[in-house]
Chain A
């Protein structure tokens, strides 16, 4: 069975500081990995995705993530956080053929201090 673990429930960083959100997955085949962001009261928006190729993927809003197969990880990073990045972040794993059956982590809430 596929699963996703986001070890950090809540992270607080200062504006301008760097950010890393952790994600570990379990999947029996080649994983299709996603990071989504959710602002309060909103739906989910895709930040980036990985399914093959370069293990460092770039996304929107200055985010990037690195796929490490040996560690079963797909951590999200941003070099300099902006106050508008405060939100909840979800990592998800699914099959390339059917992203509709994705499994989500429990989410990490990011607070940005001025």
Chain B
């Protein structure tokens, strides 16, 4: 039982490049979320999903896309990376009435 896994752990991009951050969970949780963590700002919700095929925007969705084709996977796409997207990204999953389980994070630097 791996819990929530994220790949890659580290990534450096140039401005304008695109990439996908991967997130997978093996707990059959219906809810999955992406957060970004910046110094002194806690975690801010980017996008979340309440089940396969259903996604919605969080607090800071601009510049990011998500899809949820299966219960297990919830990839986050950066369409055209900008330096303001330099951050640590966390994926989390949860089920009704329970807390979120977090992945180890992806540290992204955009030059």
Contacts and interface: CB of A to CB of B under 8 A. Distances in A.
> Do A and B actually bind?
yes
B31 A99 contact: yes
A99 B102 CA distance: 12
Contacts of B99: 34, 46, 49, 99
Q: Chain A at the B interface: mostly helix, strand, loop or mixed?
A: strand
B50 A98 contact: yes
Given A98-B96, A100-B32, A43 B103 contact: yes
Interface stretch (B13-21, B37-45, B79-87): B37-45
Contacts of B104: 42-43
Interface residues of A, number: 25
A106 B40 contact: yes
B1 to A, nearest CB: 16
Contacts of B32: 100
14 contacts: A34-B100, A42-B104, A96-B96, A97-B96, A98-B94, A99-B31, A99-B99, A100-B31, A100-B48, A100-B93, A100-B94, A100-B100, A101-B33, A104-B35
Interface of B: 31-33, 35, 40-45, 48-50, 58-59, 90, 92-94, 96-100, 102-105
